[in-house]
Amino acid sequence: MKRKNLCWIIAIVVGLWFCTSCLTTTTQVQPEKRFYPAETELYPAIYGAIAATFPNASFTQIDFYNNRYTISGITGETKNPSGEFGIGALETWYIGYDLNITLLPSGEIVPSYDNIYVFKLDSTGQNVSTSQRMNNFGKYDYAKDVNRITALMLEIANDSSLFEKSKKLAMNDIRFVYTIVKKFSTVAFNDFINNYAKGSVFNVKGTVYEIGEANRQINGKLYKYVITIVRGVASDRMSSGFYPQPLTDYIYCRYYTNDNTVIKLNKSDSCTINGILVGAEQGKSEITLYLDLIDRN
């Protein structure tokens, strides 16, 4: 009898220990402290690092001249996201959050996070079936994400070939450029367009708004036609079903060309252009941008 009671006591103690260990929330490991090279532009490194590590994420807020970036759609897989053991604890959940990266004047890269969600996908793997907002990461290793990103940022910053490649890709990404300029003052807007964005090559798919005769000389070449194409950019942002969708922002591209086949286009047709940026204007609201592009041919 005593031996039987002892066995029960051992079983209870082990069970209590197991439950206690499972109910204990893991202490969040902090990312490694890293410093960015002085006198080195930040945007090529952060653009290249995000594109390589989380290609489905998107830049939603950029304070370009103050080196502050917000990236939405950083995602990963986790078990037992709340840090508690219970029904469904061993199922795979996905976690998504906004990552903020700020570069201090000292060169220190400072990460922070916001809007943490856990979610499960439906049987198709395409749509969210269940989602829940979280106050913390539970057992998800957030530091691992940040360390991957910042390590790659430093690798790009210290490799001239990678740096120039990322710089070109960033300025040729119309969504990235739009996110940078959408809240600029006139002074900041003109400085950015003239010193960073001019010469970018944009591949734009949108809807024909108007086709007209231009007879305008740009960079020493006379262009006969101008096609105005409208593109909404909100639909291109990260959407996993748990991020609130913003109002649609619009980019109007005025495309100058000598291609006589423009006569075949009608208003509201879908059209794809590939042009070099030669100028830009701010719209009357922060959700409108006008770009002047010339035919690459």
pLDDT in tens, 159-189: 999 999 999 999 999 999 999 999 899 999 9
Q: Find the helix or strand (DSSP H, E) in which 21 lies.
A: helix 2-23
User: Which parts of the chain are beta strand (E)?
Assistant: 34-35, 58-63, 68-79, 92-103, 108-121, 128-134, 201-218, 221-232, 250-257, 270-282, 288-295
> Over 60: is that where the pLDDT of 17 sits?
no
Query: What is the token pair recorded at 74?
Result: 């950083």
Q: How far is the C-alpha of 255 from the C-alpha of 259, rounded, in Å? A: 11
Residues 206 and 230: beta-carbon distance below 8 Å: yes
Of 206, 205, 210, 204, nearest in space to 225 by CA: 210
Tokens read off for 192: 């950015």
- The topology under which CATH files domain 34-171 is TATA-Binding Protein (3.30.310)
pLDDT of 73 > 50? The answer is yes
Give yes or no for residue 88 having a pLDDT over 80.
no
Where in the chain is CATH 2.40.50? Answer: 185-295
pLDDT for 251: 93
pLDDT tens sequence across 30-51: 899 999 999 999 999 999 999 9
Using CA atoms, how far apart are residues 92 and 114, in angstroms rounded to an integer? 22
* Three-state DSSP string of 199-267: CCEEEEEEEEEEEEEEEEEECCEEEEEEEEEEEECHHHCCCCCCCCCCCCCEEEEEEEECCHHHHHCCC
pLDDT tens-digit map of 241-262: 344 444 568 899 999 999 999 9
**How many CA atoms lie less than 13 Å away from 245 in the CB half-sphere?**
10
Measured between alpha carbons, how far is 214 from 116 in angstroms, rounded to an integer? 50
Whole-number pLDDT of residue 133: 78
- For the residues 151-159, what does the mean pLDDT come to? 98
Could you name the CATH architecture of 185-295? Beta Barrel (2.40)
* pLDDT (mean) for 215-224: 96
Q: Which is nearest to 235 in space by CA: 224, 247, 217, 223?
A: 247
Specify the pTM.
0.83
Comparing 21-35, 74-88, 105-119, 180-194, the range with the smallest average pLDDT is: 74-88
Biggest alpha carbon distance in the chain? 104
Question: Residue for token digits 């070109």?
Answer: 168
For residues 139 and 26, the answer to whether their CB atoms sit within 8 Å is yes
- The SS3 call for residue 54 is coil
Buried b (16+ CB within 10 A) or exposed e, 187-222: eebeebbeebbeebebebebebbebeebeeeeeeee
Q: Are 55 and 110 in contact (CB under 8 A)?
A: no
pLDDT-derived band of residue 16, with 50, 70 and 90 as boundaries?
very low
Residue 191 has pLDDT above 90, yes or no: yes
Looking at the chain, the domain(s) classified CATH 3.30.310 span 34-171
